[in-house]
């Protein structure tokens, strides 16, 4: 009798376990689901935040490296441009002193006679045409635009005016000044030709450009010969 009662109690308890379990699951399901959703959302937001931070860091790193590369690439042409401009300014200095000696010659010739002064002025103007064209080409090759090169060439012409006034004011200054100004002028043009112009010409290996350069040199030599012959 006792065994039967115990057995019935156990069976009843066993039968109530699924009901209790179902009740607990039913009561806990919304809370558990909400917790799972919350944890999942927090995990996604955290991973997204970390991803955004990584993207920002990568973007900043890329921008910094790009700026560094640009600064490095810009510094090299700038250095090269400065070297070229030094040659251009040296050409201007040599051209100014050359024009100064021409002015001395013009002033001294006018002291001798008016006709001699006019002839000297005309001959200097004739030989200055190819000379100024060559100086203009050097300035353009040095990085100056055409308008700036023309302005700088016009500025060097003041050397001729200064030399003419000096030659007219002091009769013997032309010969004495020429003794030290002419070597300086010649050395400046030799330096420009050997250090600046010739290396720039040798950089271009195209056959057509080389032929044009050779023809230009021959025409320049021919003009100098003709001017020296009839001057």
Express each pLDDT in 74-126 by its tens digit.
444 444 444 446 777 777 888 888 888 888 778 877 877 888 788 888 878 87
Is the pLDDT at 68 greater than 80? The verdict is no
Q: Do 174 and 167 form a contact (C-beta atoms < 8 A)?
A: yes
194/131 same-domain check: yes
Domain count, the chain: 2
124/225 same-domain check: yes
Query: Distance (Å, rounded) from C-alpha 68 to C-alpha 45?
Result: 34
Report yes or no on 26 lying in a domain: yes
Report yes or no on 182 lying in a domain: yes
Domain that holds residue 210: 86-230
24/93 same-domain check: no
Q: Which of 53, 68, 95 is the last residue of a domain?
A: 53
121/167 same-domain check: yes
Instruction: State how far the alpha carbon of 129 is from the alpha carbons of 2, 95, 97, 155, 176, in Å.
Output: 139, 13, 17, 16, 26
122/193 same-domain check: yes
pLDDT of residue 173: 58
Is the pLDDT at 199 greater than 50? The verdict is yes
183/139 same-domain check: yes
């Amino acid at each position: 009798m006792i065994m039967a009662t115990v057995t019935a109690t156990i069976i009843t308890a066993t039968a109530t376990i699924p009901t209790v379990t179902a009740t607990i699951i039913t009561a806990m399901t919304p809370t558990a689901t909400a917790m799972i959703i919350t944890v999942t959302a927090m995990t996604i937001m955290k991973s997204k935040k970390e991803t955004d931070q990584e993207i920002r860091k990568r973007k900043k790193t890329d921008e910094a490296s790009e700026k560094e590369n640009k600064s490095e690439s810009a510094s090299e042409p700038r250095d090269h441009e400065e070297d070229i401009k030094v040659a251009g300014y040296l050409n201007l200095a040599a051209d100014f002193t050359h024009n100064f000696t021409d002015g001395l010659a013009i002033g001294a010739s006018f002291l001798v006679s008016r006709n001699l002064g006019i002839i000297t002025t005309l001959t200097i103007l004739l030989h200055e045409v190819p000379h100024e064209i060559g100086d203009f080409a050097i300035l353009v090759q040095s990085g100056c635009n055409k308008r700036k090169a023309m302005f700088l060439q016009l500025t060097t012409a003041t050397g001729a005016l200064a030399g003419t006034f000096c030659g007219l004011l002091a009769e013997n200054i032309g010969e004495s000044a020429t003794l030290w100004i002419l070597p300086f002028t010649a050395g400046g043009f030799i330096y420009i030709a050997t250090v600046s112009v010739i290396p720039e010409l040798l950089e271009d290996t195209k056959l057509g450009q080389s032929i044009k350069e050779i023809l230009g040199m021959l025409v320049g030599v021919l003009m100098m010969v003709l001017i020296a012959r009839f001057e």
